[in-house]
Amino acid sequence: MHKSSSGSLGPDGLDLTKAFFKPISNASPPSLTKRHNKISVIGAGNVGMAIAQTILTQDLTDELVIVDNKPDKLRGEMLDLQHAAAFLPRVKINSSVEYSVTAGSDLCIVTAGARQIADESRLNLLQRNLALFKGIIPVLARYSPETVLIIVSNPVDVLTYIAWKLSGFPSNRIIGSGTNLDSSRFRFLIADHLQVNAQDVQACIVGEHGDSSVALWSSISIGGVPVLSFLEKQQIAYEKETLENIHKQVIDSAYEVISLKGYTSWAIGYSVASLARSIIRDQRKIHPVSVLAKGFYGIGDVEVFLSLPAQLGRGGVLGVTNVHMNQEEEQRLRDSAKTILEVQTQLGI
């Protein structure tokens, strides 16, 4: 296991902490209520390292652990981050190929996954990821039985369901990154279209993180003004095809980035860091993430994970928002659930 240096130097282990600092007399011990946050990132690829780097720069944790099965690359990534210590908040950075280093994590973020090879079916890719997760999730659960799991690996909805089954955790402590990033892309495109700040756009993509995702046009607002009802009241015509094209751009965004630079990293790094902040800091913010959708929005008594607007806090998922959907959007959401269920059925889980 590779870890940060201790306070000793030299062959005799000179304790520099005692040499440099004179202790305060009659000092009381640290408060038992003070939290020491620990976040573990599984997978040191482009996505995992973008997440790790964003978590560090946003000062979200006291200890960051990175686990990967490539020891040389892993140590190189750890050293590269440690060498930036003078420019970052004080964080203990560890890395290892062994999962024991993750023990006691408040949050475990899984980015590891098998890459699709040429002409490989989606089902075969899922089966390989299922085998990979069998070696990851139960071990994380054993070392950190109270942790919250965030699954980032794709296809994220099915893999989040798999992680739930393998971990034995209650569903509120299993979260998929889902359409959190899709929704950010959606807000960007609408903001760009209307020349406003994306932070003033309230818009959400729900359902599968994929082709069957659902854009909730009926609930979009800008600066608190509901867009579609405003246009109707002002008798301003708009074409549904224009709306569908914006949604299609959202779906195609990742493919475009991958075709241009080979992978996506920075946006998903910021997206997952925003989820980490809401959980670790108990922000109780609402994010469209993959959660157990059983019983919500007419989906029925089925075990399927897909993205819904959920409130996140220290305990993971605190609740699902009762966002307005019209009949068409609800039907599309149910169709998206069926699409995911069909894949789960093929896997036999």
What's the chain's Rg over C-alpha atoms? Answer: 22
Strand partners, 316: 313
**Rounded to the nearest 5°, which phi and psi values hold at 244?**
-65, -35
**10 labelled binding-site residue:** no
**253 labelled binding-site residue:** no
**152 labelled binding-site residue:** yes
Strand partners, 306: 291
Question: Which residues, 6+ apart, have CB-to-CB distance to 28 below 8 Å?
Answer: none
Q: Which residue has the tokens 């069957």?
A: 212
**223 labelled binding-site residue:** no
**182 labelled binding-site residue:** no
CA distances from 303 to 7, 151, 154 (A): 50, 17, 18
- Show the DSSP H helices in the chain as ranges: 16-20, 46-57, 71-82, 122-134, 137-143, 156-167, 180-194, 227-233, 240-261, 266-280, 327-347
- CA dist., res. 13 & res. 35, Å (int): 30
222 neighbors 200 (Cβ within 8 angstroms): yes
**313 labelled binding-site residue:** no
- CA dist., res. 107 & res. 64, Å (int): 10
Token pair in block for residue 308: 């819904």
CA dihedral 271, 272, 273, 275 (to 10 degrees): 100
**DSSP 8-state code for residue 110:** E
- The one catalytic residue in 83, 193, 209, 324 is 209
153 neighbors 290 (Cβ within 8 angstroms): no
- CA dist., res. 293 & res. 214, Å (int): 15
Helix and strand numbers (H, E) in the chain are 11, 16
- CA dist., res. 242 & res. 205, Å (int): 16
In the annotation, is 193 catalytic?
A: no
- CA dist., res. 56 & res. 227, Å (int): 37
CA dihedral 59, 177, 78, 53 (to 10 degrees): -40
**124 labelled binding-site residue:** no
**211 labelled binding-site residue:** no
**154 labelled binding-site residue:** yes
Residues making up the binding site: 43-48, 68, 129, 152-154
The residues annotated as belonging to the active site are 209
Q: Which residues are annotated as a binding site for NAD(+)?
A: 43-48, 68, 129, 152-154
